[in-house]
C-alpha cells in the first residue's frame, strides 16, 4: 500500500482534520485515510454519526496517541430540530414512532425551553449511541430490537440557540456548544418533550472540536497532514535543549525547573519541543511535583 506521492508523514506522526461528508461512518473515514496515507495507524478522536457532516479529528502514525488530548474537548454543532415527530433513532434516518400536534407552540416558547437546557444537565444516551452496556454497544442492541435502561449522564451545554426555519413551520435551526459526550439528538427530543410533545434531529453538522474548526478542515480525498508539533494548538509548548529533549524522549521524570516550569504553571499537559520545533512528548505534572512524559513520540 503506497502513500500518496504528495503526502509525507513526519516521524512523530500527524493530525488530520477532515470535513466528513454525509453517508460515511467515522470508521469509513479512517479506512479511507489508511489507504491514502499508507499506514494502518489511523484513529479518530470521537465518532460522528453517518448522516452528520463536519469536523472529524484524526491521528496518524505515532500521533494516534495524542488523541487522548483531543477526545474530551468541547464541541460545536448546527442542525435542525423538527417538532412534533419522534423517531426510533431520534433523527431523520429513523422510523416514525410518534407524532404530536405542536402547531400551537410559539417561537418564544421554543427559545425559552431551549434556554432551560443551558448549563450542567443530565442526559440519557440514545439507544443508537456507541456506549457499551454488558459488553455490547447500544446501537448493536438497537439493531437487534433490544432496548435497555440507560443511566443519565452529566453533560454541559454552554449555548443552545434556536431560530425558526423560514417556510417550514415547526422546524428550528439550532446552534449548540457543549461538552464532549453530549448527544444533540437527545437534546432535540428533550426539547420537544419540554414543549409538551416530541421532536427529532435532522441535518446535523459539527462545526468545531475545540480549536479545530470546519473552515480549516480538508476533504477526505485531499487530506492535509499537520505535523504533530503543530497539531495540538490548545496545548502549551515548552521548548527545551537537545540534551533535555533526549532525556524527555527516554521517558525521564524531570524537575520542573529543568523544563523552565514553576509551581504556578499548573499540572499540564505541555508539549515538549526540541530546538527544531519537533514534538518529543506531551508531559504532565507527576504526583511528586516533577514533570513526567505522558506520551512520548520521539527518541524513546
Q: What residues are labeled active site?
A: 49
* Residue partners of 84: CB distance under 8 A and separation at least 6: 99, 100, 101, 102, 103, 170, 192, 197, 198, 199
Mapped onto helix, strand or coil, the DSSP state of residue 181 is coil
Which helix or strand (DSSP H or E) is residue 228 part of? none
Contact between residue 180 and residue 55 where contact means Cβ atoms under 8 Å apart: no
- Backbone angles phi and psi of 59, in degrees to 5: -105, 145
Contact between residue 195 and residue 85 where contact means Cβ atoms under 8 Å apart: no
296 phi-psi bin (left φ>0, alpha ψ -120 to 50, beta other): beta
Which helix or strand (DSSP H or E) is residue 288 part of? none
Contact between residue 216 and residue 248 where contact means Cβ atoms under 8 Å apart: no
Distance of CA 206 to CAs 12, 53, 83, 123, 199, Å? Answer: 28, 6, 21, 19, 20
Beta bridge partners of 274: none
| β pairing state of 85-87 and 96-99 | antiparallel
Amino acid at each position: 500500500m503506497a502513500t500518496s506521492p504528495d503526502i509525507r508523514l513526519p516521524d512523530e506522526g500527524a493530525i488530520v482534520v477532515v470535513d466528513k461528508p454525509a453517508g460515511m461512518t467515522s470508521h469509513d473515514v479512517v479506512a479511507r485515510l489508511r489507504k491514502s496515507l499508507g499506514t494502518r495507524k489511523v484513529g479518530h478522536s470521537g465518532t460522528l454519526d453517518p448522516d452528520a457532516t463536519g469536523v472529524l479529528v484524526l491521528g496518524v502514525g505515532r500521533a494516534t496517541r495524542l488523541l487522548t488530548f483531543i477526545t474530551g474537548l468541547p464541541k460545536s454543532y448546527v442542525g435542525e430540530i423538527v417538532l412534533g415527530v419522534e423517531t426510533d433513532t431520534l433523527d431523520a434516518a429513523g422510523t416514525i414512532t410518534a407524532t404530536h400536534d405542536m402547531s400551537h407552540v410559539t417561537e418564544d416558547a421554543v427559545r425559552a425551553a431551549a434556554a432551560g437546557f443551558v448549563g450542567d444537565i443530565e442526559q440519557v444516551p440514545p439507544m443508537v449511541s456507541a456506549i457499551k452496556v454488558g459488553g455490547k454497544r447500544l446501537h448493536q442492541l438497537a439493531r437487534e430490537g433490544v432496548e435497555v435502561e440507560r443511566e443519565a449522564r452529566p453533560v454541559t451545554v454552554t449555548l443552545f440557540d434556536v431560530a425558526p426555519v423560514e417556510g417550514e413551520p415547526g422546524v428550528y435551526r439550532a446552534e449548540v456548544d457543549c461538552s464532549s459526550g453530549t448527544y444533540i439528538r437527545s437534546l432535540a427530543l428533550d426539547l420537544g418533550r419540554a414543549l409538551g410533545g416530541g421532536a427529532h434531529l435532522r441535518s446535523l453538522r459539527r462545526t468545531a472540536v475545540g480549536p479545530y474548526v470546519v473552515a480549516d478542515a480538508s476533504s477526505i480525498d485531499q487530506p492535509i497532514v499537520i505535523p504533530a508539533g503543530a497539531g495540538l494548538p490548545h496545548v502549551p509548548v515548552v521548548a527545551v535543549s537537545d540534551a533535555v529533549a533526549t532525556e524527555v524522549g527516554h521517558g525521564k521524570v524531570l524537575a520542573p525547573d529543568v523544563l523552565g516550569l514553576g509551581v504556578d504553571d499548573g499540572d499540564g499537559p505541555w508539549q515538549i519541543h526540541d530546538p527544531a520545533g519537533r514534538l518529543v512528548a506531551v508531559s504532565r505534572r507527576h504526583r511528586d511535583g516533577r514533570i513526567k512524559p505522558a506520551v512520548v513520540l520521539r527518541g524513546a
